[in-house]
Amino acid sequence: MSPNSVSSRSTVAILWGAGGAIGKIAGQLLIQITLARLLDPATFGQYAAVLAVFGLGYILADAGFGSALVQKKELDTADISLALGWSLLFSSAIVLAMVVLAPFLANQFGDASLEPVFQVCALLIPFQIVSNISSSLLRRDLHMRGIQIIHLIAYTLCFGGVATTLAILGWGVWSLVAGFAAQTLFSLVATYSIARHTLRPRLSGDKALIHFGLKSLANELTSWSMDNLDRFLVGKFWGVFSLGLYSVAFNLSKAPSGILMTAAQSVAFASAARLHDNPVAVRKGFLVVMAAIALATLPVFALVAFESETVLHIVYGAKWIDAAPYMTALALSIPLISMGTITAAILRGTGGVGTELSIVLISAAVLFASFLIMRDESLAVAIWAVPLAYLVRFLLLVAAIRKRLQLHLADLLAAFRGPVVLTLVGVSITALAHDLPHAMAMGMLPPLAGCCAMLLLLVSGFKWFLGGPLSSMVREKFSAGRLGSAIAWLERGKH
């Protein structure tokens, strides 16, 4: 596949990913708000504990073969059979282990009622494994349209519809488990209907596929530790009630970016793998993506962090206001997570799996050690271990990708200058507006003032704030029609 073809398909894939992500973000926020008003923090803490363990079991069962199918240049039916065979073998072992260890796992969170929940969720792993084979084939072909439509329906209708209905009926944590099961089964049927493949497993085949899968497994395990180790430790040291507050605050912070990052990560990995031999194209794409993500996350999440109490009160209600200190730290983590996720995907796609593994291990060690040291402190203090760990991860990833792509430091700094200036202005105006009367609009005047200041500044210096690579890409991709005229007007604004 030629670089131009990959670039074109990548752009379309990202647009579909973004479109699907926007729809899923809206649906996820609506569902989370509804469930947060129906269920209590302890219930969300129980579900977060189960998902953390389930996620580890799923990664072990997948054994990295999903990524291996995406990465392999030439793929045949034997490769799919091999990935399916080993994944099902691992998943059987994981299911048995989770069922047997359920009492021990429940004890780690100090909640014996979690034992049957762990056992039931374990049975869903083989279904997710088969679904992941189909999803990997769709990602390989950059078929983001199908993936996003499936994910949108699976989450909003299957998870949201089932979980909300059962929560109203008083099912507690089982309402969330049942919703997750419905989401899993729908995704399995829908992805397979689009990407049909052999269902005949085998355990012998291309050793290179197995080798890459195992390397990816090690990387995904360490990534899991970054994404879920905090939840495990919060639940163990501070209990499921605190874990519920923590997880809901994190979900609200992460929802607007998390789904989009999942789509963008898949596209970035697949595109970088195809353009592995064209470092100039990868370097240009990396700078564009970094500038775009920084512009979309830094100003917004800095304001969310600054106004965490107001946001929680408006969105979830007064019973969740105790989560405000957690949300402040977690919201500041989101830009680091988002930029680190894409950097890691590009690093992996260009063959830097081992380097990424080492970086995530270091970052996970920082997270674990920080929580361990502060386990006797309040969670409001210990929570700052999260942005610290993600900052370490991001800086190490940027250093690695800079070396691999031969990036100039000046180009990297130029990608971040606009977002940083917008962030500083927005937070400053918000802080100044707090001295004004703002009883009306439920306390939203200060953040609205900060948002307006950032928008005015962005319009006044559109090209400067976007940076050279991103503004060139925007002009190239959206040059036609009224949108193109608007962009041209913005770029001419101060020139």
Predicted confidence (pLDDT) per residue in 245-274, tens digit? 999 888 877 766 655 555 455 445 445 444
pLDDT of residue 260: 54
Instruction: For residue 248, give the nearest of 316, 171, 161 by alpha carbon.
Output: 316
Q: Are 402 and 412 in contact (CB under 8 A)?
A: yes
CA distance 66 to 75: 13
Residue 366 lies in a domain: yes
CA distance 258 to 250: 10
Task: Look at the block and give the residue holding tokens 């400067």.
Answer: 464
Structure tokens belonging to residue 311: 């946001």
Structure tokens belonging to residue 267: 């596209």
The DSSP 8-state label assigned to residue 73 in this structure reads: S
Task: Look at the block and give the residue holding tokens 């940027």.
Answer: 398
Q: What are phi and psi of 263, to 5 degrees?
A: -65, -45
CA distance 428 to 454: 10
CA distance 354 to 211: 12
**Dihedral, CA atoms, 159, 196, 147, 63, nearest 10 degrees?**
80
pLDDT of residue 315: 84
Q: Which segments within 179-268 are labelled E, that is strand?
A: none
Beta-carbon-side half-sphere exposure of residue 86 (alpha carbons within 13 Å): 25
pLDDT of residue 258: 58
Residue 469 lies in a domain: no
pLDDT of residue 388: 95
pLDDT of residue 176: 96
CA distance 239 to 394: 29
**How many separate domains does the chain show?**
1
Residue 73 lies in a domain: yes
Which residues, 6 or more positions from 213, have their beta carbon under 8 angstroms from its beta carbon? 63, 64, 65, 67, 68, 83, 86
Give the domain extent around 395: 3-407
Residue 454 lies in a domain: no
The DSSP 8-state label assigned to residue 321 in this structure reads: G
Q: Are 418 and 464 in contact (CB under 8 A)?
A: yes
pLDDT of residue 270: 47
pLDDT of residue 273: 47
CA distance 287 to 294: 11
Most distant CA atoms of the chain, gap in Å: 71
CA distance 365 to 378: 21
pLDDT of residue 494: 46
Instruction: For residue 357, give the nearest of 45, 64, 30 by alpha carbon.
Output: 64
pLDDT of residue 463: 77
Residue 455 lies in a domain: no
pLDDT of residue 187: 92
Structure tokens belonging to residue 134: 């189909």
Residue 198 lies in a domain: yes
For the chain, the distance separating the N- and C-terminal CA atoms, rounded to the nearest angstrom, is 40
The DSSP 8-state label assigned to residue 113 in this structure reads: G
Q: Are 9 and 142 in contact (CB under 8 A)?
A: yes
Q: Are 188 and 127 in contact (CB under 8 A)?
A: yes
Query: What does each C-alpha distance from 476 to 80, 443, 480 come to in angstroms?
Result: 38, 41, 9
Low-confidence ranges of the chain (pLDDT < 70): 1-24, 142-144, 255-279, 353, 436-443, 468-495
pLDDT of residue 302: 93
Task: Map residue 141 onto helix, strand or coil.
Answer: coil
Residue 400 lies in a domain: yes
Q: Are 248 and 316 in contact (CB under 8 A)?
A: yes
Cα 11 from chain centroid? 19
Q: What angle do CA 453, 411, 8 make, to 5 degrees?
A: 90
How many other β-carbons are positioned within 10 Å of the β-carbon of residue 209? Answer: 22
> Which helix H or strand E contains 420, and what residues bound it?
helix 409-433
Output the pTM of the full model. 0.75
Residue 274 lies in a domain: yes
